[in-house]
Each structure stands twice: as structure tokens, then as C-alpha cells.
Amino acid sequence: MPDGAWSLFFAYIYKLCLRRILTMKIFTAQQIRDADAYTIRHTPISSLALMEKAAIACTAWICRHYNEDTPVYIFCGMGNNGGDGLAITRLLRNRGYNAVAYILHHSTKASDDHTANRNALQQQYHAAVNDIPDNGLLPQLDRNALIVDAILGTGLSRPVEGWIAGIIQQLNDLKPQHEIVAIDMPSGLQADASSINNPVIKADQTLSFEFYKLAFLLPENAAFVGEICILSIDLSPDYIAQTPSRFNITDAFQVRSIYRPRKPFSHKGTFGHALLIAGSEGKIGAAVLSAKACLRAGVGLLSCHIPRCGYQIMQISAPGAMCFIDEQQDHSSGFHNHVLTPEAAAKFKVIGIGPGLGTAAGTSWALEKLLDHYRQPMVIDADALNILASSPALLKKVPAGSLLTPHPKEFERLFGKTANDEERLKVLSQHAVERQLNILLKGRYTAMAFPDGSIWFNATGNPGMATGGSGDVLTGILTSLMAQGYSSQETMLLGVYLHGLAGDHAAAALSQEAMIAEDIVEFLGKTFLELHKLKPC
């Protein structure tokens, strides 16, 4: 290749990598509007051309997923979201689809780009433009038609009510006979605030421009957003790089840049010695799963502190793990003894505690003693969190930098109930900052709060992972990564990503229904191999 071609090629790859890194940011609706305005000001693209780019990307997506026989009804609002819908109608018509736009007059004034696209559509396909006046009725839809929701996007300024709320309700009632694809946002959904109890379109698919919106990642909005596809429209990388975002989402490239492949002269001492305190009578399985995951995730040495009843089970199930056997038969109450002196504590690079631990009085007492002596960051999960939840004084003793891994119920026990998911995120972040802890709130998009106030979301994983023991596996992975020298933040981002991806591989091989927690452990190897193959950007 000639020199000029090489430099163009490298510039293209650089831009791709940069874009990947930048689109991990989750912007507010206002920031998205600013990105739009900045792009129009600083690059040779007009706002109408940007809308055309967005419409081309949506049209291509629709054509990939629905054939030309599908009647397409595109409901458009009066702003630029509606403008997108009008442009999509024209582009679908150009490709031979029977697409018809219905403009809902919820406002007396249309945006400039809406008007321009209305005129363009009308000029080319006069019959494809229909107006529904304020208080007007929806048309009768053909069988198996596709509904495109281009009513309201990021310009939503208040909860929807009245006539337009009724339209949203009627469109939702047309499911499941008709699928709904939402353009940029399901109409009625607020990008940055809770939409609980508001009328919102229930999309099967949301085609979002450039970024995830915070609302997409909140469990309370799952029924509105459906599947998410992020379509790039080349918003200014400069704006994106310069603009701070409190919320972010991890991706493979970022995780790859955290992951450190092994050097040829490494030995097991290089990868740390972890102490896992887990298990009680009837819950030794949790300890085993966690231990297996810890070993599979690459720890150098693993010691497990378990009650007497678990000794043989652990040795047979996870022969790679060493065992400390508690004096108690059915629960542990002597694990604090490992850290009574700084020399003893220094033996372990990290302590992971909680899976299947139980909340016996002796266990609570030992946890308090452990926290009195141990000042290194720990991984704290399950029953250890439940013990902390029962004693605010104990929670205060958790070493700074520790990693807490509550599921929503445990979170509520620790930090109280909240009215909605937006408030829950605030509480999550507030505790991470005030207590200087890393707290990950498990969910479809696990939210990871850092002590600096930022929140990262993870997108790997699937509903098949909602199975007993999945959390124990995560604790094992996190403990393993911390033992190998990853910081608490690196551990959270990398560990949660790996756990989800291993779950995705397990689901692909076995189905979401049939996969069990052990399978997540089994597929960790494939996940590491996949990460290894990626080149860090």
C-alpha cells in the first residue's frame, strides 16, 4: 500500500478505537443536544444532514430485520424525533417498502428539520404523509404491521399526558400483534429521570443514536426499552472526549485494556494467595462454587475457611483449594484468627467473605473481630452483607477500598428502600463516596459505584444467570482478581464483565434455561481466551 493509504488506514483505525472508547460515556439529554449542536458547528455537516445520517442508519436496521412485505406505520411527533420518522418513511419507500407516516399534532409548532423532511416526503410520496390532529384517532393497522415510534425523543420536557398519553396507551395495546421499534428513545421515557407511573411506549427494539441513555439501564424501564441497538451517527469525538460523564458503560476494548496477560516467568506466588471465608451447613455448595470460580479466574493460591461439615465436600469438589476447618460443625466462628497479627494477615493478598456463610451469632461475632483487625480491601458478599446490614456500627468498620456486591434485596437491607431506580442510583453512589467503598449493585446491567462518585454499568450477561450460585461465582472471580493485583476498580469492571460473558457463552451452548452456576465457571476459560485475542486499543 502507498504511504498515504497507510496513514488513511491508521487514521480510520484510530478513529474507530477512539469512538469505541468515547461511546462508553452515557450523556444526559442536555449533553446529547449539546453534542448535536457542537457537531453541526465544528464539522462540515448540517443538522438536516445529521438527521439524514440517523435516518439512513435506522432504515438499514429496519431493512435487515423486516422484509418488504411488512407494512410500516411510522408515528411522528412535531420535533426532530418526528423528523427522523419522516426521513425514515422516505428512505423505506425508496427501498420499496409500503411505509406510511402519521404526524401527531401534539404541538402547534414543528421543528425546522421536521418541516424540511415533511416537505421532502410529501414531494416524493404525497400519499405517505397523514396528519392526525390534536385529539384525532389512530388509523386501523394492517395485520402484522411494524410500528415505528418517532413521536418523542430526547426533547421530552415533561411527563406525557392527555391525548398523546392515550395514543401511547393505544399503541401499546396493539402488541403483541404488532412489533414496535422506537427511534432514539421509547416515547414518553425520560432519559435521565425516573419515568415510573408515566405513559411510555413499550418498544420491542430501541434504536438509539450514538449513546446508551441512563434510562435504558434501569430495571424499572425494562418493559419500555426492549432490545437496544446503538447506531453511530458520527457525533463529534472532540465534544465527547472533552465532556465529562458521571455514568459510563464498559465494553470489550476497555476491559481488554485492564486485563494483564501473564508474563513467561510468572509463578503461583505472582498471582496472590486468597482467603475465602464461606459456607455453613446446607450451603457448602456456595463455598464450593465460589472456590472453583476463584481458582478458574487465575488465583495463585486459595485457602478456604469452612465449618467442619464442609471439609470433605470442599476437598473432593475443589482439590486445588486448601482448607482451614473451623471448630464449629455447622457454621464458622473462628476465621478472625487468621488476621489477629499483621504478619498473619499479610499472608493473604485479599479476603473474600460471604457466600453461604450464614448469619449465626458466632459468625457475626467473628466478622466483627475480623473487621477490628483487618484494614486491607476485602470482597464482601451475601450473608456477610446481611450481617453488616444488621449493624450500622459494623458497616462503618469495613476497610476503605473494599468491594461490596449486593443484589437489590441485600442493597435494600444495607442502605434502605428507595422510591425508584434513579433514587437507588443516588443512594448507591452516595454510600460509595461517603464510605470510600466500591459497591456493585447486581442486575441485568450491574451498576458499579466508585468512591469518586462515578458509576459504570456492565452490559454482558443474560437472564439465564438468574440462578442459584451465580452470585457466589462472581465473588470467587472478584476475590481471585484482587489477589492477582488488580485494583478494586479494575477488579469490578473486569470481573463483572467476565462473569457476564462466561454466562453468555454458557447460555449460547446450553440455553438460558438449562445453564447453571457451574457452567459459568466452566466457560470462564473461553472468556479469557476471547479477551486475550482482542488487541487493546
Binding site for ligand NPW (CB under 6 A): 32, 35-36, 50-51, 54, 77-84, 106-107, 111, 152-158, 160, 164, 183-185, 209, 233, 235
Q: 81: annotated binding-site residue? A: yes
What residues line the site for K ion (CB under 5 A)? 149, 153, 182-183, 187
Select the binding partner of residue 149 from K ion, ligand NPW, none (C-beta < 5 to 8 A, by kind).
K ion
Q: 154: annotated binding-site residue? A: yes
Measured at the CA of 304, the angle between CA 301 and CA 309, to 5 degrees, comes to 150
Minimum CB–partner distance for residue 301 and ligand NPW (Å): 52
Q: 446: annotated binding-site residue? A: yes
User: Which residue, 64 or 158, has its beta carbon nearer to ligand NPW?
Assistant: 158
Closest-CB residue for K ion? 187
Q: 2: annotated binding-site residue? A: no
User: Which residue, 184 or 326, has its beta carbon nearer to ligand NPW?
Assistant: 184
User: Which residue, 84 or 326, has its beta carbon nearer to K ion?
Assistant: 84
Minimum CB–partner distance for residue 196 and ligand NPW (Å): 16
User: Grid coordinates 425546522 are at which residue?
Assistant: 112
Would you call 368 exposed, middle or buried from its count of C-beta atoms within 10 A (0-12, 13-18, 19+)?
middle
Beta-sheet pairing, 146-150 with 99-104:
unpaired
Provide the 10 A C-beta neighbour count for residue 252.
16
C-alpha cell at 460: 454482558
Beta-sheet pairing, 455-457 with 447-449:
antiparallel
User: Which residue, 58 or 521, has its beta carbon nearer to K ion?
Assistant: 58
Q: 187: annotated binding-site residue? A: yes
Select the binding partner of residue 187 from ligand NPW, K ion, none (C-beta < 5 to 8 A, by kind).
K ion
Q: Measured between alpha carbons, how far is 179 from 182 in angstroms, rounded to an integer?
A: 10
Reduced to 3 states (helix: H, G, I; strand: E, B; else coil), residue 118 is helix
Q: 483: annotated binding-site residue? A: no
Beta-sheet pairing, 146-150 with 403-404:
unpaired
User: Which residue, 37 or 346, has its beta carbon nearer to ligand NPW?
Assistant: 37
Q: 443: annotated binding-site residue? A: yes
Minimum CB–partner distance for residue 105 and K ion (Å): 16
Residue in 157, 61, 170, 76 with CA at minimum distance from that of residue 121: 76
User: Which residue, 79 or 476, has its beta carbon nearer to K ion?
Assistant: 79
Select the binding partner of residue 54 from K ion, ligand NPW, none (C-beta < 5 to 8 A, by kind).
ligand NPW
Tally helices (H) and strands (E) across the chain. Answer: 21, 18
Minimum CB–partner distance for residue 123 and ligand NPW (Å): 20
User: Which residue, 36 or 522, has its beta carbon nearer to ligand NPW?
Assistant: 36
Q: Which residue pairs, CB below 8 angstroms and at least 24 apart, start in 105-110?
A: 105/78, 105/131, 105/132, 105/133, 105/134, 105/136, 106/77, 106/78, 106/134, 106/151, 106/163, 106/164, 107/77, 107/78, 107/79, 109/78, 110/78, 110/79, 110/82
Select the binding partner of residue 482 from ligand NPW, K ion, none (C-beta < 5 to 8 A, by kind).
none
Q: 206: annotated binding-site residue? A: no
Residues 376, 350: contact at Cβ < 8 Å? yes
Q: Name the helix (H) or strand (E) containing 112.
A: helix 112-124
Residues 516, 469: contact at Cβ < 8 Å? yes
Q: Measured between alpha carbons, how far is 211 from 393 in angstroms, rounded to an integer?
A: 41
Q: 159: annotated binding-site residue? A: yes
User: Which residue, 112 or 227, has its beta carbon nearer to ligand NPW?
Assistant: 112
Measured at the CA of 115, the angle between CA 114 and CA 120, to 5 degrees, comes to 100
Provide the 10 A C-beta neighbour count for residue 66.
18
User: Grid coordinates 393505544 are at which residue?
Assistant: 170
* 312 contact partners, CB below 8 Å, separation of at least 6: none
Residue in 107, 486, 6, 58 with CA at minimum distance from that of residue 261: 486
User: Which residue, 35 or 203, has its beta carbon nearer to ligand NPW?
Assistant: 35
Minimum CB–partner distance for residue 46 and K ion (Å): 22
Q: 118: annotated binding-site residue? A: no
Select the binding partner of residue 164 from ligand NPW, K ion, none (C-beta < 5 to 8 A, by kind).
ligand NPW
Q: 442: annotated binding-site residue? A: yes
Q: 155: annotated binding-site residue? A: yes
Q: 117: annotated binding-site residue? A: no
Beta-sheet pairing, 350-353 with 322-325:
unpaired
Select the binding partner of residue 333 from K ion, ligand NPW, none (C-beta < 5 to 8 A, by kind).
none
Q: Measured between alpha carbons, how far is 145 from 263 in angstroms, rounded to an integer?
A: 57
* 111 contact partners, CB below 8 Å, separation of at least 6: 78, 79, 80, 82, 83
User: Which residue, 33 or 375, has its beta carbon nearer to ligand NPW?
Assistant: 33
Q: 468: annotated binding-site residue? A: no
Residues 380, 356: contact at Cβ < 8 Å? no
User: Which residue, 215 or 384, has its beta carbon nearer to ligand NPW?
Assistant: 215
Q: Measured between alpha carbons, how far is 89 from 146 in angstroms, rounded to an integer?
A: 12
Binding positions are 80-84, 149, 153-159, 184, 187, 286, 356, 407, 442-446, 471-472
Binding positions for AMP are 442-446, 471
Binding positions for (6S)-NADPHX are 80-84, 153-159, 184, 286, 356, 407, 472
